[in-house]
Structure 1
């Protein structure tokens, strides 16, 4: 076994308090307009049925479980506000995911912390709550990372627990549950395969120490395979084939990395710097550095076989860092994907002497960073771009008719969602258009077809934008068949002549 079962496995009172705080931190933002991704995912989840594209009539490079979660959020009220589309259910979903993550962080810390290290069991959930409540990590935007993180921690907790007991029915059920949670995390956000990475390293290092390891490993794999099979079959019933899913969540990401690398705009570099600054200011970087150093030092001194969980945790964190760096577009919510690794490494620290002061300093700086960023977000909750998009959507609602369609070139699905119109162009996000329709042949077919939209929204003076250059003949054709009606900042609304 990895280690004897610790005496204290229940979460501390601090864990429950931190979980409530993480939930309450979202409440002031329930009525804040949705971000572009949130509105787009909500729209896709609502209309997903057999259609002309991957998810109904639209295409996005995300796994299906994410859209089902947003469909669940769609059960709540929805309001078209002058500042944008308001759907409290979406923000509430993020709040619940954050609270669950903190609760699981406390349970994990109670399970893996060194003996008699109750202080660590108090620190880990507070650290998780501080990071999840920080706008420096993307809060209050409900995106794939924040919804996948509780599944990751649940999988880590179940996997570690399954390896610390005898090979009885309970341990096999825990291993199966770990596989289920691991697959669910990846089916919410495809790069969140943290539990699989942990298992790939931890299981071989546990050989000879954990009885009937093959049975536990088989149970883990069986749980993951069962979930994937159910999700793939359910998606097929809604018109999404397994081949289409593979293309969207795996093949496309490889193609997108090449496109981003070859045609990144100056805005990409600016966002990279912003994410780097947020990583440092949030306290996550310092905490990761300190806890990673301590885990690596212990593993070096004892050897990997004597510190298997520390080695596996370091591998998991390395994968999480790759996920942030390889995302390419560099949005703040990428940093949320680091939380499971940070929590696990912090939970493994033996808080004696200078280590305790180092961890306390990391936690203090993290809390201060969160309070400052959260206060600023509360004072300025509506992003300028979202407010601009809302004005565009309001114009379309006012001047549009029931049968009108709209194409936004390119991206900004929040405009389509808030306008209450359909888009005949399947790519609501810019990256899929850049990768799958770089010469805009699909767009030209839409604009010249029987279902041509009445409205087209462009950024700047031409149909080009977001790394896509429209062919001259398409621009000429567009100007001949459409005329500009209004402008809102750098967004211009054109209507069909």
Structure 2
């Protein structure tokens, strides 16, 4: 990769205007999320962060989640500094960083024109409300770091000053590993760097010693966050084996549970995901890369090989994810940006192709923004928040709550603690498949005051012997229904009626502390 001549004053001015518009655009697309209720994952991560109490045998203490400490630590810091919605501000700032990285990638690989197209694609994909890019989900926090890691890796190979290149490579490694720290399958940055740096070393595109030093710098940078986590674990009593079991071992067990359970919902979500991949422009862009693979490899062989590896790994990650949520598609944003950066100015690639793809992405995005004040992803979330607030209004200060099965946003909105460690349905199905642990909680001294039945107790084949249902029927009485969801209270407790709730109107964030 050779350096390009410095741009003239007029070109620099144009680039600045484009970049300013892009940053303003992504911030404008992110801003409405500050008025939307917290999603279940956001609420759950926030609860885990607030009750974080690690020690021997437990990664997070009273609540269980299979996400890395980097993610929960981000939630804890954002909550302490900015409150419940702090993580959405962090997500917006990371989206800005991703847009800047996309611009720099385009500049490095194709010049000003490629920078304009790659920046546009980044804004569009990061602004798709359907993919929940605006939320503080694992993907929303990790994917921008993958894109930043890819840019820094490419940038490090272009630096002529050795120490500047090594520092940039080190930063690339850190960003790539931090992305994995947000969600385990966000390995795109690691894969891109590994293939890019190894290919440069093997092909001898630069003197062997500088190429080896760059590779070594990325390895050191990538190891730094891991070392910090391991040192933290040693300090609080969390062993490497426990980290492995929670973060990786559980995923294998959970995939087996998903595979063994017939689910029409999963099939429907998978088909929807394919349709979204086409509508958002991801499939057309990746298809364009496949069609132009040979000339792309001739022009930028190391980057082309690295991009090919990233696409393969990301596709496998989405397929193996099992649940096929819309947010899974966020993982393809770095690959889509790289495709445009690589191909938009190649000989034989006319401007019509990126224009057509970009327009095809902009139109559905615009329609989705104009036709609704909130994305469909918030509809179920709004209901859960409404139910939780209704319980909060009728609850005593020391009451506790358990939700059947999952929906951590109900727990968060209620303001109550929960004596049952599993906030999500998948860990419940994987680690407590017979609901023995849940039944012990319901019949023990810490039995919850409230039970909210968001999903039937027998969902996913749980409670086959009906023991949990019998316990609820004997120890609890139905206290009311909110938005079609049954709410139960301990028979021994006297609580006021649940207040009337407006289930048609999304709740404001005023009660989310």
TM-score (norm 1): 0.90
Q: 1:264 to 1:90 in 2, by over 3 A?
A: farther
Q: How much does 1:237 deviate?
A: 4.5
Residue aligning to 2:231: 233
Residue aligning to 1:479: 473
Residue aligning to 2:150: 156
Residue aligning to 1:175: 169
Distance 1:150 1:430 in 2: 28
SS at structure 1 position matched to 2:480: strand
Residue aligning to 1:83: none
Pick the aligned partner of 2:89 from 92, 113, 116.
92
Q: How much does 1:350 deviate?
A: 4.6
Q: How much does 1:238 deviate?
A: 5.4
Residue aligning to 1:416: 411
Distance 1:24 1:467 in 2: 44
Q: 1:200 to 1:77 in 2, by over 3 A?
A: closer
SS at structure 1 position matched to 2:350: helix
Distance 2:46 2:6 in 1: 41
Q: Map of 1:22-101 to 2, 5 A cutoff?
A: 22-50=26-54, 53-75=58-80, 87-101=84-98
Query: Conserved in 2, the CA contact under 8 Å of 1:163 and 1:210?
Result: no
Matched, 1:209 2:205: yes
Distance 1:121 1:235 in 2: 42
Distance 2:395 2:406 in 1: 20
Report the more deviating stretch, 185-194 or 215-224.
215-224
Q: How much does 1:149 deviate?
A: 1.8
Question: CA offsets per residue over residues 303-358 of structure 1, 9 Å max, x none?
Answer: 9xx71211211111221222222211111111111100110111011535553211
SS at structure 2 position matched to 1:438: coil
Matched, 1:263 2:261: yes
Q: How much does 1:48 deviate?
A: 1.4
Query: Conserved in 1, the CA contact under 8 Å of 2:442 and 2:471?
Result: no
Residue aligning to 1:81: none
TM-score (norm 2): 0.87
Residue aligning to 1:131: 125
Report the more deviating stretch, 206-215 or 152-161.
206-215
Query: Conserved in 1, the CA contact under 8 Å of 2:343 and 2:349?
Result: no
Matched, 1:322 2:327: no
Distance 1:205 1:465 in 2: 49
Distance 1:136 1:444 in 2: 37
Question: CA offsets per residue over residues 177-218 of structure 1, 9 Å max, x none?
Answer: 111111111001111111221133223321222322332222
Report the more deviating stretch, 475-484 or 419-428.
475-484
Q: Which runs of 5+ in 1 are unaligned?
A: 79-86
Q: Map of 1:331-480 to 2, 5 A cutoff?
A: 331-351=325-345, 352=347, 354-378=349-373, 383-459=378-454, 463-480=457-474
Q: 1:275 to 1:449 in 2, by over 3 A?
A: same
Q: How much does 1:245 deviate?
A: 2.1
Aligned length: 479
Question: CA offsets per residue over residues 129-176 of structure 1, 9 Å max, x none?
Answer: 011111232233221111112211221122222233458222222221
Residue aligning to 1:13: 17
Q: How much does 1:452 deviate?
A: 1.5
Query: Conserved in 2, the CA contact under 8 Å of 1:205 and 1:308?
Result: yes
SS at structure 1 position matched to 2:322: coil
Query: Conserved in 1, the CA contact under 8 Å of 2:172 and 2:221?
Result: yes
Residue aligning to 1:84: none
Distance 2:318 2:242 in 1: 25
Distance 1:94 1:465 in 2: 33
